[in-house]
Amino acid sequence: MADGEFIGAGGVSFYNVMPTYHNTSGKKAYIMNMYTDPSYRRQGIAYKTLDTLVNVSKERGVYQISLEATDMGRPLYEKYGFVKMESEMKLI
């Protein structure tokens, strides 16, 4: 919010999976619905939103965090440290 005006948002969903060697807690987070109003872009708002969502996840003990990136959003996520994973598959 800026002067009571909506300028951006993002969300995170928490869920559990069967614990594995690489994720002994089974806790996971999925970041979604990242958006910044076009007139406020390139001001670090999305980065701050992403940072907040990641920190909230870590505060809850969740360290496996994923998201789906659009072409427009990919540079932001890469700058933050997210990497593209080639091992995941989906049944469509």
Please give the backbone phi and psi of residue 50, each rounded to the nearest 5 degrees, phi first: -60, -45
Whole-number pLDDT of residue 21: 94
Mean predicted confidence (pLDDT) in 34-56: 97
> Could you say which of 3.40.630.30, 2.60.120.260, 2.60.40.10, 3.40.50.150 is the CATH number of the domain covering 8-80?
3.40.630.30
Q: What is the pLDDT of residue 20?
A: 94
Q: Would you say 16 and 26 are in contact if contact means Cβ atoms under 8 Å apart?
A: yes
Q: What span, in angstroms and rounded, lies between the C-alpha atoms of 66 and 54? A: 10
Structural domain spans, the chain: 8-80
Q: Is the pTM of this model over 0.85?
A: yes
What share of the chain in percent tops pLDDT 70? Answer: 98
pLDDT at 1: 63
Distances (CA, A) of 8 to 18, 46, 51, 72, 84: 34, 7, 14, 15, 24
Average pLDDT over residues 45-65: 98
Reported as a pLDDT band with limits 50, 70 and 90, residue 53 is: very high
- To the nearest 10°, report the CA torsion of 15, 11, 70, 75: -100
